[in-house]
Amino acid sequence: MQIDCGIIGLPNVGKSTVFSILTNAPVKIANFPFCTIHPNISVVRIPDPRVYQLAGIVASRETVHGKIKFVDIAGLIKGAAQGIGLGSKILNHIQTTKVLCHVVRCFDDNQTVHVFNDIDPCRDADIVNTELILFDISQCEKNICTLQKKHKLINENIEQQLFVLKKCLDYLYDGVLLRKVYLSNTERTNIEKFNFLTNKPIIYFANIDEKSVTNNTYLNKLHAFAFNNSIPLISYCAMLSSSKNRDDRFKTGMKQKTDILCDIVSVILSVLNLRTFFTINSHMTRAWIYVAGMTALEAAKKVHSDFKKGFIRVQIIKFDDFIFYRGELGAKKAGKICYAGKDYCVKDGDILKFLFQI
Ligand SMILES: Nc1nc2c(ncn2[C@@H]2O[C@H](COP(=O)(O)OP(=O)(O)O)[C@@H](O)[C@H]2O)c(=O)[nH]1
Ligand SMILES: [Mg+2]
């Protein structure tokens, strides 16, 4: 399963700097708005030290990690959804992403232009939210129009889709982000394919000042804002973390690039309710990312794409047991292997082996 994360925010707040920290990809970073025109896209491995620990025990030749794609787009400004700046085109690039990382400027720097000249993270976050809402309104109206034309064919599902789209539109007109709206499971399924931006989970990335890493008043304000809106927030100084100078990076306990990737990925996995199970043999140790609640049968289909029927059972070893008893044999001797049927609910860290008829 591939996860995509769109990096959004006002122009010149450090989005491309953050993107380059996360992906190590060479990108254009410059002190003027709209330096990024075409989206930067890069896929990185999901850091998970457990893969190497397991591979070390069974001496697998190959390791396969989960993957995450980051998409860095141009900055949003007031009116972006109506085509101002680089317009709604830039928002199209993040429509199919699963989660949004919103970079908010929390650093003072007279040398770095701010589109509104002063620093106010909550105002900036509000502006971006408004643009996302306006974009969703335009998408919602367009889809309602299209479905109304098809309506003549009298299709029950179209009726249901129209109903939920109109419901969403009313909330959007009132300035409510769709992820905050209560929708039934069927309603959520019905709007999934429209990829509304305000329906995606958001994470705030507070880009803080290199001079006030520990006491940043902008950050405190954004914390309160994020808390009130139940949005997770992480904070770093992107500038210092991306610095080539090692001493700079160690200033005030600044985190390393890999720590930032680990932190952001762990928040992304958590907001998307994703977990990891493993499969192991001497050829390959592989991490599989899945949505919490998946059954053993669904896991089997993921692993064996040619799997049709004949699931017999699944063998499960917990990660800690596998490490402690140094592999499958040790775990078996210690009675730490268990077997379950197709309805077993897979847990994070499970090492699975499927038995089925061919
Ligand atoms: N002082 C300071 N400048 C930063 C920081 N992060 C980014 N910048 C600068 O802000 C400017 C815009 O950065 P960029 O990543 O291109 O922003 P984007 O337009 O949001 O993609 C560049 O000159 C960066 O060096 C930071 O944490 N502190
Ligand atoms: Mg940029």
CA of 14 to the centre of ligand 1 (A): 4
Residue 205 CA to residue 98 CA, distance in Å, equals: 16
The answer to whether position 279 is within a domain reads no
The answer to whether position 343 is within a domain reads yes
Which pLDDT band, with edges at 50, 70 and 90, does 232 fall under?
A: very high
The answer to whether position 23 is within a domain reads yes
- Note the ligand closest to the C-alpha atom of 15: 1
pLDDT of residue 254: 54
Residue 85 CA to residue 81 CA, distance in Å, equals: 9
The answer to whether position 276 is within a domain reads no
pLDDT of residue 49: 94
Which pLDDT band, with edges at 50, 70 and 90, does 236 fall under?
A: confident
Query: How many folded domains does the chain comprise?
Result: 2
Number of H helices, E strands in the chain: 13, 12
Same domain, 171 and 57: yes
Same domain, 187 and 222: yes
The answer to whether position 307 is within a domain reads yes
Same domain, 346 and 235: no
- Of 271, 306, 341, the one marking the end of a domain is 271
Indicate whether residue 85 lines ligand 1 (CB < 6 A): no
Instruction: Looking at the CA of residue 111, tell me the nearest atom of ligand 1.
Output: 1
Same domain, 194 and 255: yes
Indicate whether residue 29 lines ligand 1 (CB < 6 A): yes
Residue among 8, 10, 13, 17 whose CB has most ligand 1 atoms within 8 A, to mutate: 17
Q: Residue 146: CB partners within 8 Å, gap ≥ 6?
A: none
What is the CATH number for 308?
A: 3.10.20.30
Same domain, 251 and 350: no
Which pLDDT band, with edges at 50, 70 and 90, does 252 fall under?
A: very low
CB burial readout 6-19, b (16+ within 10 A) else e = bbbbbbbbbbbbbb
Same domain, 183 and 67: yes
Residue 18 CA to residue 238 CA, distance in Å, equals: 6
Residue 109 CA to residue 96 CA, distance in Å, equals: 34
Residue 237 CA to residue 209 CA, distance in Å, equals: 6
- Note the ligand closest to the C-alpha atom of 31: 1
Same domain, 258 and 302: no
The answer to whether position 19 is within a domain reads yes
The answer to whether position 284 is within a domain reads no
Cβ neighbours of 79 (radius 10 Å): 14
Indicate whether residue 39 lines ligand 1 (CB < 6 A): no
Same domain, 343 and 200: no
Same domain, 13 and 50: yes
Indicate whether residue 113 lines ligand 1 (CB < 6 A): no
Same domain, 266 and 308: no
The answer, yes or no, to whether residue 268 has pLDDT greater than 50, is yes
The answer, yes or no, to whether residue 338 has pLDDT greater than 90, is yes
Give first-to-last CA distance, the chain, whole Å: 25
Residue where the block lists tokens 């109506």: 82
Q: Which token pair is 123? A: 């105002």
The answer to whether position 286 is within a domain reads no
CA atoms within 13 A on the CB side of 150: 14
The answer, yes or no, to whether residue 115 has pLDDT greater than 90, is no
Same domain, 84 and 201: yes
- Residue 76 sits in which domain range? 2-271
Same domain, 185 and 148: yes
Q: Which token pair is 257? A: 């690039």
- Of 221, 236, 271, the one marking the end of a domain is 271
What pLDDT digit, counting tens, does each position of 285-337 carry? 999 999 999 999 999 999 987 766 678 899 999 999 999 999 999 999 999 99
The helix (H) or strand (E) run that includes residue 270 is helix 257-271
Which of 153-167, 205-219, 316-330 shows the highest mean pLDDT?
Answer: 316-330
What is the CATH number for 116?
A: 3.40.50.300
